[in-house]
Copies of this chain bind each other. A is one copy, B any other.
């Protein structure tokens, strides 16, 4: 029988588990209550003001049913505003509030620290290599998940 440590799926789960734990610890220590998922969403909206939920989901590879709850909670915390689009009445345009902007800025060092802590067992070269290999494996498997990453730079890439 194969050992768990020989199964990339098991290693993936463990690595992610630690990533979330480290993120929580660092962000909480900084005095904030933001999950990794909420942070990523908030940061993405900050970079792309007025983005709709589906595009946001594609940008950070979330399922569209997951985004609903995440945006709900961010809006409830007053970090995000959600209003109906004038061009498409189905869509909701997202905007970061002033409080959201401040939070994002204040929490950034903790997020950075969490990223470094996650790979602190590796040398600098190893860290780079790990990220390269993860990116490569992810790129090859991107379409296998229900929530693939979508390139937002090409406006019409999703309607093709």
Which residues in B have their C-beta under 8 angstroms from that of A117? 141, 144
A137 touches B17 (CB 8 A): no
| Copies of this chain held together in the complex | 2
- Near B by CB (< 8 A), chain A positions 138-154 give 138-142, 144-147, 149
Q: How does the 8 Å CB contact mask read for A96-115 relative to B, with 1 for contact and 0 for none?
A: 00000000000000001011
The CA of A44 and the CA of B135, in the complex, are separated in Å by: 30
Given the interface pairs A19-B13, A61-B14, the reply to whether A118 lies near B133 with Cβ below 8 Å is no
The residues of B that contact A12 with a CB separation of less than 8 Å are: 12, 15-16, 19, 118, 134
List chain B residues, Cβ under 8 A from A131.
5-6, 8, 11
> A136: which B residues are within 8 A, CB to CB?
121-122, 126
Please classify how large the interface on chain A is, using the bins under 10, 10 to 19, 20 to 34, 35 or more.
35 or more
Q: Please, which residue of chain B has its CB at the minimum distance from the CB of A149?
A: B14
A-side residues, CB < 8 A to B, are 1-2, 4-23, 25, 36, 40, 43, 47, 60-61, 112, 114-115, 117-122, 126-127, 129-131, 133-142, 144-147, 149
Q: A12-B15, A14-B134, A17-B145 are in contact. List 6 more A-B contacts (CB 8 A).
A: A4-B60, A7-B115, A8-B118, A9-B22, A25-B144, A120-B140
The 3 closest A-B pairs by CB, nearest first: A121-B140, A21-B145, A16-B16
